Structure 1
């Protein structure tokens, strides 16, 4: 004898699966970004050993991306997705901006113009762009769920 499955139970299970997949994919994108920045940081800091240096900025980006990935994985809340969205979008904007715009050093910040694309830089940009889109979707889903009275985070 089989037990009938309610339609709402199935829909909730499907929504939960989508939520977990979204959280996982967002975290993978952010961790890819973090890994690339962590890997590249020492070489960029060598170019500017004093001051803040681009290598130290890369380490800060890696830490922020890793923290955002952890927040999305563990919580999946609106705040976690918002933080992930800001981290990923700002990193994506920076890599594209400094690829095409030669901004001179200002204050303690070094000039970061680099008019080339190479594998790690491209992988980072793709991960950051994907992370921003995925986090934006997560943010929209958590807002919609909160507005309809379903899962509120």
Structure 2
């Protein structure tokens, strides 16, 4: 097989549906391997889980996939210069909601109720929902956090 620099290769897309199912097994197999080997830990917090994932990521750099000549880390080192840089500004990953505080000093977000200070009854607030926590704001001031 001819060695073509990554920058000159054309994009290859697998065929959709059953006729292309054989084309994506390597990629999906790697996702399954990662899930079976890493996504079953018992942790106390997302910070602990993130630290574990970082350690696995570093250890994975030395792994070889099948009989490939280069490691995962070596393949990434080849590809990394071609990737776009990360954005300079932080990227908010939470979902935003507007909610009115009810007479019980609670806001409802996705059918769940969260308490806020009683002084906020009847007021409109902004809510930021992340995977592991919910933060409620009055203007730019944080008034409640639930995790």
TM-score, structure 2 length as denominator?
Answer: 0.22
Higher strand share: 2
TM-score, structure 1 length as denominator?
Answer: 0.21
Radius of gyration: which is bigger?
2
Q: Which of the pair has the greater relative contact order for Cα pairs under 8 Å at 6+ separation?
A: 1
